[in-house]
A and B are shown apart, each in its own frame.
Chain A
Amino acid sequence: MSKPARAAQSAVTRERSLYERTLDVLSNVMFPVFVFFVWAVLTIVGTSVDQNQPPERYYEEYPAAMANAILRLHLTNVFHSWPYLSLVLLLLASMAVCTFRRVIPKRFPRDRALPIENLGLHARCESGLSLGAASAAVDEYARRRGFAVRTQEIDGTHWLFADKQKWARYGVLVAHLGFTIIAFGIFVGWLRGYRGELQIFEGQTLRVPHAALDVTLNRFIGRFEPVQTKGGVIYQASRFQSDVHIVPTDQQSSAPQAGPEAPPSLGAASILVNHPYVSSGNVYLYQASYGFGGNFEIRRHGAIQQLPNTAGRLGPQDVVYLPGTSRAIEYGTMLGPSDPSQVPMGMPLPRTNTYALWIFHDGIPTTGKPILLPVGRTIDAGDGYALRALPPVAWSGLTYRYDPGERWVGLGALVLSAGFVLALFFMPIKLYARVRSSERGAIVDIAATTTKGNAMYEDDFAALVKGLQERLSREAASPMTETVSAYA
């Protein structure tokens, strides 16, 4: 062989060897264990450290050194970082290699005579029965204990091969298959699905992006219950409900559809927490959040000023600059009968809806505390401006989602659970028994193997052997059985 050819062959050998070595590493059970630990540690870190916050938030929450470490180590977005994703991919790779290299090739031991004494779990029973009677007793006993029994006569020795819960050895394979199906479902959802949020005010119509649906919020209902607690009265939410009207964009009609031609899942609907709306196209709409938009009439020297967002669209921390002045209004929140959950504990619930707001002059608050302005009342904002509180406008936060992979995920979850139960709860057992003649009758050697280690079956094996010994003794004490067998 020429030198270049030898070098080429050597390179191929090295390459194959590296490939084989990689597969060896991936199929070693210690590899996923190691990855599991790194994954767990990163998950705990991601759980402990607030995720996806602006950098200043970390400096507020943690000492400077720790905040620096969090930001420099990119621990602010652990769960969507490439190292985290890589761990999951490594596990999937290891799982695939293990499945093909270890799980599928792993066969149940064949029925063949072997030195029983070499198996970890083995025992010997002696009986005064003849070989035939002892063999029949052992076979019958194993059957009665739930084993599937097969027998062979080899060189004058009776062999029994039996197994129990043989199907349980597929547990790992089924569990791995479940993971694969889940991963496929998530991939399909990521590829073809979409989701987002709609903030929709009462009376407003919005189009669900990607989906051919227009949603009109007719009414939002928030129900709160005053609850007597040890600390005083609190107002706890008991119901959030959005009454909506949903029409396909190709049927631009404001009237609710009716009659047999209307699509069954479209039209008027109520969306509640835990009770989403599902369109015929499998687009889900969920009740996610709510709020009340600040609604003000602003006048200057008696004339109404049309300022942006003031007509029922103000949200917390929204600022309205008053033209021609260095004044501004910052909207805080709305508290009152419509949303008593915003009332701090210890403060009486206002009888009418009331806005909490600040008025700033040259960037400085004009009051030490938020101004409470009940609906219907007017306040002088300075420089000729007057602010009149109008009834708030409720809005509902609706999450929309389309996930074509959800059925795969559901199926994968079922398969995974089944695999876990098979793999962890059941134990495949292979039983061997060898029955030989002896001077005093018969000698029965019995042994068992499991896929989970001898210790796992030790107690049950001891009970099995004890039961067999009792059975053999009972048979020996009852000669009628033998006589009848001989006659038969």
Chain B
Amino acid sequence: MPSSYTQYNTNAAAAMDAHVAAYMAWYEAAVVLYLLAVLVFAAYWFFRNWTPLGAGIVFASLGITAQTVSLGLRWYYSGHVPWNDLYGSLSVVSLLTAVLFLAFGARFNIWFAAPIAFLFSDALLMYAKGWNKGLEPLVPSLQSSWIYIHVPVVLASYAAFLIGCVLSIIYLFKKADEDRIERIAGRSLGAAVSTQAAEAGAGRARWLGWLDAVPASTKIDVAAYRVNSVGEILLTAGIILGALWAHVSWGSYWQWDPKETAALANWIVYAAYVHLHTKPSMRGSVSAWVSIFGFATVLFSYFAVNIVISGLHSYK
């Protein structure tokens, strides 16, 4: 870390401002690029070919690059990992959401969810700006190698849950649409979709036209389950790594600190989700609502515990 920050002198503020401005410029670029990715991905809903999809992936990749540079500069100037406060961690969640979405998109073919996923990712990034306090030294409790792995793993789980939540929301819209088509057609869904395409749009709000680009609800349910499963694995690993760090730092695996108990609540809800999904009658809408509820608990554990409820993990 440059010594100018640790010296109380008249140049310190100016030096910090210059460095903060440098990484924030890349941050602004990432915000704009993600927004462009959202718009181009949304075009995929209507054109459904590789051109908007490819362009969206390019913009998203550029956004990821800009954000990586921004976080890298913050790391360089501060001399420690950039996810030591709320700005840094929100920025990392946003970055990981974008990276994981590209990976999931390629693996599970969920590009139809890209506009909403990147919109959420960009919203998180924009919200992070208000928490940017500049560059500060690392507090003693965070001066540990565990910070390199525990925090990113937990934040990656949040990113996966965000994508899972987006898929669940889309599932509910698609399921409602399928039910509507079934009601209109009065016969099997497959026949209704293939032969009554014109009729399919009847009785549906125009803004829901994008649902035609979305695959069958059962496929979305499967994708949501797979993504949430990855999130649950990451969260399990994150909690275990955190417990090991707590053992080294505080002398106890588990302190019943608000962040720990909130993370436990997240884990429990998603454990309920994966159990629920083993029962065929509970797949679909019930699972989707549990997935959305699960992400609400993630938001609670991330924001409420960091901002409102004070504890050992309150790093704003």
Q: List the interface of chain A (C-beta within 8 A of B).
A: 29-30, 32-33, 36-37, 39-40, 43-44, 46-48, 51, 79, 195, 225-230, 233, 236-240, 272-276, 284, 286, 288, 399-401, 406, 409-410, 413, 416-417, 420-421, 423-425, 452-453, 455-456, 458-459
Is the CB–CB distance between B252 and A272 below 8 Å?
no
CB-contact partner of B6 in A225, A417, A452, under 8 A? A225
Is the CB–CB distance between A286 and B250 below 8 Å?
yes
Residues in A with CB closer than 8 Å to B300 are 44, 47
Interchain Cβ contacts under 8 Å between A and B, 11 examples: A44-B297, A47-B258, A195-B251, A226-B8, A228-B5, A229-B133, A238-B137, A399-B250, A401-B251, A413-B243, A417-B233
Is the CB–CB distance between B256 and A226 below 8 Å?
no
Is the CB–CB distance between B240 and A47 below 8 Å?
no
Measured between alpha carbons, how far is A237 from B222 in the docked complex, in Å?
48
Is the CB–CB distance between B219 and A47 below 8 Å?
no
Measured between alpha carbons, how far is A39 from B133 in the docked complex, in Å?
37
Residues in A with CB closer than 8 Å to B109 are 459
Residues in B with CB closer than 8 Å to A406 are 247, 253
Residues in A with CB closer than 8 Å to B128 are none
Residues in B with CB closer than 8 Å to A239 are 140
Q: Does B221 lie at the interface of the complex (its beta carbon under 8 Å from any beta carbon of A)?
A: yes
A461 → B minimal CB distance (Å):
12
Is the CB–CB distance between A276 and B251 below 8 Å?
yes
Q: Does B225 lie at the interface of the complex (its beta carbon under 8 Å from any beta carbon of A)?
A: yes
Q: Does B185 lie at the interface of the complex (its beta carbon under 8 Å from any beta carbon of A)?
A: no
- Contact A399/B251 with A29-B278, A46-B261 known, Cβ cut-off 8 Å: yes
Q: Does B100 lie at the interface of the complex (its beta carbon under 8 Å from any beta carbon of A)?
A: no
Residues in B with CB closer than 8 Å to A455 are 218-219, 221-222, 283
By beta carbon, the residue of chain A nearest B253 is A409
Measured between alpha carbons, how far is A410 from B5 in the docked complex, in Å?
40
Is the CB–CB distance between A43 and B5 below 8 Å?
no
Known A-B contacts: A195-B252, A273-B143, A288-B250. Give 14 more (CB < 8 A): A29-B279, A43-B265, A51-B256, A79-B256, A228-B8, A228-B16, A233-B8, A236-B136, A237-B140, A273-B249, A276-B251, A399-B251, A400-B251, A458-B218
Measured between alpha carbons, how far is A214 from B156 in the docked complex, in Å?
44
Q: Does B236 lie at the interface of the complex (its beta carbon under 8 Å from any beta carbon of A)?
A: yes
By beta carbon, the residue of chain A nearest B229 is A424
Residues in B with CB closer than 8 Å to A413 are 240, 243-244
Q: Which of B42-50, B171-179, B193-201, B269-277 contacts A (4 or more CB under 8 A)?
A: B269-277
Is the CB–CB distance between B6 and A226 below 8 Å?
yes
Measured between alpha carbons, how far is A275 from B141 in the docked complex, in Å?
10
Residues in B with CB closer than 8 Å to A284 are 251
Q: For residues 108 through 152 of chain B, which have their beta carbon under 8 Å from a beta carbon of chain A?
A: 109, 133-134, 136-141, 143-144, 146
Is the CB–CB distance between B249 and A286 below 8 Å?
yes
Residues in B with CB closer than 8 Å to A417 are 233, 236-237, 240
Is the CB–CB distance between B137 and A39 below 8 Å?
no
Is the CB–CB distance between B309 and A424 below 8 Å?
no
Shortest 6 CB-CB contacts between residues of A and residues of B:
A36-B272, A424-B229, A226-B8, A286-B251, A228-B12, A273-B140
By beta carbon, the residue of chain B nearest A274 is B144
B 144-187 binary contact with A (CB < 8 Å = 1; else 0): 10100000000000000000000000000000000000000000
Q: Does B29 lie at the interface of the complex (its beta carbon under 8 Å from any beta carbon of A)?
A: no
By beta carbon, the residue of chain B nearest A51 is B256
Measured between alpha carbons, how far is A39 from B7 in the docked complex, in Å?
49
Measured between alpha carbons, how far is A65 from B296 in the docked complex, in Å?
27
Residues in B with CB closer than 8 Å to A456 are 222, 225-226
Measured between alpha carbons, how far is A487 from B21 in the docked complex, in Å?
77
Measured between alpha carbons, how far is A266 from B90 in the docked complex, in Å?
44
By beta carbon, the residue of chain B nearest A222 is B140
Greatest chain B CB density within 10 A among A51, A228, A230, A424 is at A228
Is the CB–CB distance between A40 and B297 below 8 Å?
yes
Residues in B with CB closer than 8 Å to A32 are 272, 275
Residues in B with CB closer than 8 Å to A416 are 236, 240
Measured between alpha carbons, how far is A12 from B230 in the docked complex, in Å?
48
Measured between alpha carbons, how far is A453 from B225 in the docked complex, in Å?
12
CB-contact partner of A33 in B256, B272, B304, under 8 A? B272
Is the CB–CB distance between B280 and A420 below 8 Å?
no
Is the CB–CB distance between B272 and A43 below 8 Å?
no
Is the CB–CB distance between B305 and A47 below 8 Å?
yes
Residues in B with CB closer than 8 Å to A274 are 140-141, 143-144, 146, 248-249
B219 → A minimal CB distance (Å):
7
Is the CB–CB distance between B279 and A43 below 8 Å?
no
Is the CB–CB distance between B265 and A420 below 8 Å?
no
Measured between alpha carbons, how far is A48 from B297 in the docked complex, in Å?
12
Is the CB–CB distance between B265 and A40 below 8 Å?
yes
A239 → B minimal CB distance (Å):
6
Greatest chain B CB density within 10 A among A36, A288, A425 is at A36
Measured between alpha carbons, how far is A371 from B151 in the docked complex, in Å?
43
Measured between alpha carbons, how far is A209 from B138 in the docked complex, in Å?
33
Residues in A with CB closer than 8 Å to B138 are 238
CB-contact partner of B262 in A47, A237, A288, under 8 A? A47
By beta carbon, the residue of chain B nearest A34 is B272
Is the CB–CB distance between B236 and A420 below 8 Å?
yes
Residues in A with CB closer than 8 Å to B103 are none
By beta carbon, the residue of chain A nearest B147 is A274
B59 → A minimal CB distance (Å):
27
CB-contact partner of A44 in B5, B225, B233, B262, under 8 A? B262
Q: Does B264 lie at the interface of the complex (its beta carbon under 8 Å from any beta carbon of A)?
A: yes
B151 → A minimal CB distance (Å):
14
Greatest chain A CB density within 10 A among B221, B276, B305 is at B276
CB-contact partner of A240 in B12, B133, B140, under 8 A? B140
Q: Does B268 lie at the interface of the complex (its beta carbon under 8 Å from any beta carbon of A)?
A: yes
CB-contact partner of A36 in B226, B229, B269, B309, under 8 A? B269
Residues in A with CB closer than 8 Å to B232 are 420, 424
Measured between alpha carbons, how far is A479 from B16 in the docked complex, in Å?
76
Q: Does B191 lie at the interface of the complex (its beta carbon under 8 Å from any beta carbon of A)?
A: no
Measured between alpha carbons, how far is A233 from B248 in the docked complex, in Å?
31
Q: Does B208 lie at the interface of the complex (its beta carbon under 8 Å from any beta carbon of A)?
A: no
Q: Does B13 lie at the interface of the complex (its beta carbon under 8 Å from any beta carbon of A)?
A: yes
Measured between alpha carbons, how far is A421 from B230 in the docked complex, in Å?
9
Residues in B with CB closer than 8 Å to A226 are 6-8
Residues in B with CB closer than 8 Å to A36 are 268-269, 271-272, 275
- Contact A420/B233 with A43-B261, A455-B222 known, Cβ cut-off 8 Å: yes
Measured between alpha carbons, how far is A456 from B283 in the docked complex, in Å?
11
B288 → A minimal CB distance (Å):
14
Q: For residues 19 through 76 of chain B, which have their beta carbon under 8 Å from a beta carbon of chain A?
A: none
Measured between alpha carbons, how far is A416 from B243 in the docked complex, in Å?
14
A403 → B minimal CB distance (Å):
8
Measured between alpha carbons, how far is A72 from B178 in the docked complex, in Å?
48
B 198-242 binary contact with A (CB < 8 Å = 1; else 0): 000000000000000000001101100110011011001100100
By beta carbon, the residue of chain B nearest A30 is B279
Measured between alpha carbons, how far is A286 from B250 in the docked complex, in Å?
6
A412 → B minimal CB distance (Å):
9
A48 → B minimal CB distance (Å):
7
Is the CB–CB distance between A39 and B249 below 8 Å?
no
B3 → A minimal CB distance (Å):
10
By beta carbon, the residue of chain B nearest A423 is B274
Residues in A with CB closer than 8 Å to B225 are 456
Residues in B with CB closer than 8 Å to A459 are 109, 219
